[in-house]
Chains A and B, each alone.
Chain A
Amino acid sequence: MAAVSYMSAHGQTYLTRNGQVSFYSKTPMEDIKAVNKQVYAAIDLSTKTVAFTLLLKAFLFDKQLMQDHFNENYVESDKYPKASFTGSFKENIPATPGKYPVEIQGQLTLHGVSQPVKIPATLEIMPKGLSSTAIFTVRPSDYNIKIPSLVKEKIASQITVEVSANCSTVK
């Protein structure tokens, strides 16, 4: 029984190492955007669970200085190199190709802080693989990321995060 459930679970695990997470901070003073194209993602349809993990140093900014400040002053990627998300959803996803909206509830871990989050996402069943997209917002203050008053007007209090991952089945 356990073996069967393991096998069936294994058969429905979708993985990628090239998922993409980008974030935007828009203020009248400055627009900041960064993209990370080395995101590891796993989606298991049988257990309805999702996991993401990424290295913060892999976020690329337009300006080198912003990238340095992001790593050194805000997320402190030398101390906390990774950000990760684990979650689960309740909706039933049929095996037929198509787009299915889900609500993923889980834990987002960033800067050494874990917070419960609800993320509306879309899962798309494709003939070969599974694609997922999501847009949500993150407050740096929830993750103990302090923004000094001097640059407060340049960094939004809500950062928009866009996720997309094209996963394929595990062989």
Chain B
Amino acid sequence: MQRTYLFLFSFLMLQCMQLQAQDSSLLRLLDDSLNADSRQPQEVTGTFKATQLINLPTTESPAKKTLQFLIMHRFGKLNEGAYALFGLDNATIRFGLDYGLTDRLSIGIGRSTLDKALDGSLKYKLLQQTEHSIPISVSLYELVNHYTLRYSDKPYLNARYRTSYVSQLLIARKFSRSLSLELAPSWIHMNLVPTPDDKNDVFVLSAGGRWKFTKRMSLDAEYNYLLPNQAVSSNITRSLSFGVSIETGGHVFQLVVTNAAGMAAPYYLAKNTGSWGNGDIYFGFNISRSFNWNRK
């Protein structure tokens, strides 16, 4: 009797072991062939959550058939004091609409209250970072800015003079799941500058990044370095901005502190006069919402 049990037991054990061995060998077989096949480089996604770091555009753009509505809002200066509730009485706003024509190409329009400026833009992803092969993502951003603020005393200020052009090369790398950095050289051509000593073509080098401290929240920073001896007639300062981004489903909220009032490229890159030292600090936020038509 006992022997029968022992036999049965050892038989069952053997069966189990064989089953388990088969189990894992079958899976190992699959995993091996999956690993062999998945050598082709995988795209690195989510380098940045939003299409702009704070003011600076990121390499991200809305996916194909996705419309993004962007509200950028900056209150007044902190140093306006208690009378203006430390800037909260005043506001500068830019509304933007960006649409993804393809996953790599998007077009956008925007309207700022500052100078009543309109802007149109194009963003094209030249390079997409992939695991193991392409180390960086590169996007080209082209923007035309045209302001419509009326000056009754400057009748010569026609449409040509009111327009400026910005070309930016956005170079970004996602170093880890939490850290992404971006470097962006910009070339700005302004059709009209205040004096003949000011350059019509100015160059700016921007750097920024985000550090994700939870899955849905990140700290962002950006600095835009206007190369010296380009805008000489007025005291132009370089803009430095910090932000916290919170992502919730289709929305990205960004809370921002910056010394730049303008949110379209020529303003925060080459026309900024606010200084952190003087307390020209603007509190604000960006909200982006994505709408999608890509139903299959």
Contact = CB atoms under 8 A, between A and B. Distances in A.
Interface stretch (A81-89, A93-101, A129-137): A81-89
A47 B18 contact: yes
B45 A150 contact: no
A40 B33 CA distance: 8
A72 B30 CA distance: 25
Contacts of B294: 62-64
A86 B290 contact: no
Most buried by B among A47, A63, A79: A63
A3 interface: no
B3 interface: no
Contact of B216 (A42, A54, A64, A148): A148
Contact of A51 (B18, B30, B295): B30
B103 to A, nearest CB: 7
A71 B45 contact: yes
A4 interface: no
B218 to A, nearest CB: 12
B292 A57 contact: no
Given A51-B27, A88-B23, A154-B249, A65 B296 contact: no
Contacts of B31: 40, 53, 82, 84
B250 interface: yes
Interface in A30-85: 40-42, 44, 47, 49-55, 57, 62-65, 68-69, 71-73, 78-79, 82, 84
A51 B216 contact: no
A49 B248 CA distance: 42
A28 B46 CA distance: 28
Contacts of B24: 86
B177 interface: yes
Interface string B247-290: 01110000000000000000000000000000000000000001
Contact of B30 (A42, A47, A62, A79): A42
Contacts of A87: 23
A111 interface: no
B34 interface: yes
A17 interface: yes
A151 interface: yes
B112 interface: no
Interface residues of A, number: 38
Given A49-B19, A72-B46, A86-B27, A65 B290 contact: yes
A57 B42 contact: yes
B34 A53 contact: yes
A79 B38 CA distance: 16
Interface in B72-123: 103
Nearest to A33: B296
B22 A49 contact: yes
Contact of A65 (B18, B30, B292): B292
Contacts of A79: 177
A109 B114 CA distance: 55
Given A55-B38, A62-B294, A84-B31, A49 B45 contact: no
B139 interface: no
A87 B20 CA distance: 9
Interface string B47-73: 000000000000000011010000000
B215 A72 contact: yes
Interface in B238-253: 248-250
A154 B215 CA distance: 18
Contacts of A50: 26
Q: Which 4 A-B pairs have the closest CB atoms?
A: A64-B63, A51-B26, A51-B27, A40-B30
Interface of A: 9, 13, 15, 17, 40-42, 44, 47, 49-55, 57, 62-65, 68-69, 71-73, 78-79, 82, 84, 86-88, 106, 148, 150-151, 154
19 contacts: A41-B30, A42-B29, A49-B19, A49-B26, A50-B26, A51-B30, A53-B27, A62-B292, A62-B294, A62-B295, A62-B296, A63-B292, A64-B66, A64-B103, A65-B292, A68-B46, A71-B45, A78-B177, A86-B23
Given A53-B30, A64-B292, 15 more contacts: A15-B30, A40-B31, A40-B33, A44-B26, A47-B19, A55-B34, A55-B38, A63-B292, A64-B63, A65-B292, A68-B45, A69-B249, A79-B177, A86-B23, A150-B249
